[in-house]
Structure 1
């Protein structure tokens, strides 16, 4: 893409579906996933109702406070980490792989020449020897 082409607006974030790829489905925790009373053991209905409300209230409140206090700093840290990974791949790892590809290509040709020079005459000689034993 050239500098004169416009880039699509990617600055917009989806505030509805915040995990479109489902990368954190394993931590989706609901009250029913944590607490459950089996048949024959029941608390008073109001205790169960208020436990449900308190669980959800405190889970959401603690999550929101934690993300408010730490979320932006952690996002900045991960942004720096992935920027460093991208920089290493662009400026170090990909060129290094190209160097290895070029050098291994030369080594492959040299190895092939040596094998052809040494083994081709040997295999041809063995073929001529065993040709003499063919059935008549």
Structure 2
């Protein structure tokens, strides 16, 4: 803790004015920086969003859609493998753990 000795104590007005100047400076610097940066940052982020949307709509989607059509048989095969191999195991595990109950108490 920093404190002044009682013999060389500064006036209360000094601390009141320093606090007031600090608050006014903080508020106005924030406002000025916000005005200077808000418009350019919003323009840049808008451009980035527009470019990414354009690329997604006109480039990525047309290339991904035919790939999904071609690999539909692979998706069906994977679904069958999961239904035959994984679902029975997870169903039996869920039935084993179904009876477990937790009760938390404060002692």
TM-score, length-scaled by structure 1: 0.42
Q: How does 1:109-124 map to 2 (within 5 A)?
A: 109-124=50-65
The residue number in structure 1 matching 2:41 is 100
1:125 pairs with 2:66: yes
From 17, 23, 47, give the equivalent of 1:82.
Answer: 23
1:94 Cα deviation after fit: 4.2
Distance, in Å, in 1 between the alignment partners of 2:63 and 2:28 is 51
Q: Distance in 2 between matches of 1:89 and 1:80?
A: 14
Q: Which has the higher contact order (CA 8 A, sep 6+)?
A: 1
Question: Matched residues in 1 for 2:63 and 2:73: separation?
Answer: 16
- Structure number with higher helix proportion: 2
Q: Number of residue pairs matched?
A: 71
| Mapping for residues 1-136 of structure 1, pairs under 5 Å | 62=6, 66=9, 69-133=10-74, 134=76
The alignment's TM-score, normalised by the length of structure 2, stands at 0.51
